[in-house]
Structure 1
Amino acid sequence: MVIRRLQGDGFHEWIANARRCPMLTNKVSEIMTTNITTAVASQTVFEAMEKMVSEDVGRIVITDRDVSVGIFTEKDVLRRVVNKLDAKKTSIRKVMTSPFRAVREETHIVEAFGKMYKGKYRHLLVRGRRGKIVGIVSMRRILGLAVELDQGTSPTKTLGSITSPGATTVDESTSVYEAIDLMVKNGLGAVIVTAGSKPNGIFTERDVLKRVAVKDINTKKTAIKELMTSPLITMASTDLVRDVMAEMYRRDIRNMPVGGEKGELIGIVSMPDILQYAQAFDIDEKVRQAWKEVEEYYNSEDQYTPG
């Protein structure tokens, strides 16, 4: 029911109106990257993850005889690999996402963003006119375009006005195993690490790939404080959303912790959440609410989509 509501007249009317904005006549072909990192389907999960780390990417396209057959992302590393299987003995074919989601290269950027937000993934493969995968468009590239064209929100909208209260935290003594288990069970891309009650760091999907999955680590005996990203970068609830967008793009941050007036942690804002408020997208409150309902639906049904 939620999905039917989203796909009704309101959503398509917004898409039609948004396309009239000059910035949104841009197609995904104009911002996609054609430098696609690939792995062969016969390779091991460990080999694929090593290549992701060496090339500093959050996703890798899996091929079989030069045909794209799947995608493997940091989210897959978190949910399907760590704490679950021997990556050196498992074929990447067994854990890749297949079939994968893709859009045509003439797809409007705003439409691609809507698909990514609703589907809860950060990357979309792009098909050329003959059906072959010719590129990848990422949430970060869309954020970069909004920042580059200075298409932030109104000059007065603050981070606090769009932040939902609360953020999932773990104590610094928590084992890596427990932290990862918590992230998987709650569908989280990051948890805040605290020392006592004070925020001290963050542990993300990226950390899982780079600091756990390709390392020889006993996750049950290693404390999260040894692998977290610290010091913790935060922005104040009084900061303007347009400034937060620019900072997230500059630092390549997907999840920005939000601090209150006394420096306390009041919440966390993700890249897709903040992009909803980019002025260029002209997304009205009705559409935001519909997207939120879809997100809640996926969370309640424990659905999984590629990252």
Structure 2
Amino acid sequence: MDTITHTLFGLSLYAAVDKKRFTTNEKRALLLTTVVGSNIPDIDVISQWWDTAGRYQMWHRGITHSVFLVPVWAALLAVVSWLLFRVKDWKLFAMGIVAVFIHNTSDLFNAWGTGYLEPFSSIRVTFGTIPIIDFVFWIIMLAGWLLVRYKRNVSSSRVFKWVWVLMIVHLISQSVQGYVIQNQYAKQYDEFALSAGFIPGQFQMIGKESDKVSIHNVTVFSEPKLQVELKSDESVSLDKLFAENPEAKTLYEWSPFIVVVNDDKHIGIYDPRFYRNGASFLYEKIDK
């Protein structure tokens, strides 16, 4: 998910806790834990500062997003809460686990994926059933905030508990639909991936068979509509591309499958899941 969504998740976690008996420092410690915990796995963006090997694509959402690091981040947040606010409570550690777990797990559901099982597996786990910016989450959280803000005698913690229930229902609904689509069409291709659209229930399915990659728009209630068919030159050697452009090799390892470009000017590869308006957001090439 994007940084705004992760931050809103943290604020919604904070709002879902009944804080009537909390001291000022306890409230501050809880806010730090939920908001920072909801963002801390993305600290890996600083790896861009020293990336000279073209490995940022693997480092981002890599080990810092591992499920095995969740208690480590939670423990760090508990220490910071003690140092800044002199608050020591196992409930803070538990809330840190929840915040970081939500970050790492929610990132599984969009096409970018995460290194959820690192360091034991380098596979990027991705389901592609939620867009990287999901406005349904935003609308649900905004509705909760408006209800608390303008309706008298409403419990913030109770409202935001329901906000979380509704967001989980949306996540489950999207994932069930994605599962149905994958179960119905994936066997028709050698390789298959999903990418959720911004409108709930709408997906792109990307399938590769031999040297052809097709991208369809699809829902569980409608037949797939072909958007574009791409040709991948599977005969070309990529050794020179990888030698001259290390980021291309990283993209090759990172993507579930790629399209190989071999024209008069370039040799390159791109991830077809991010193909929009005639080009892919993730494209690495060299000049001939």
Q: TM-score, normalised by structure 2?
A: 0.24
Please say which structure displays the higher CA radius of gyration: 2
Q: Which has the higher contact order (CA 8 A, sep 6+)?
A: 1
Q: TM-score, normalised by structure 1?
A: 0.23
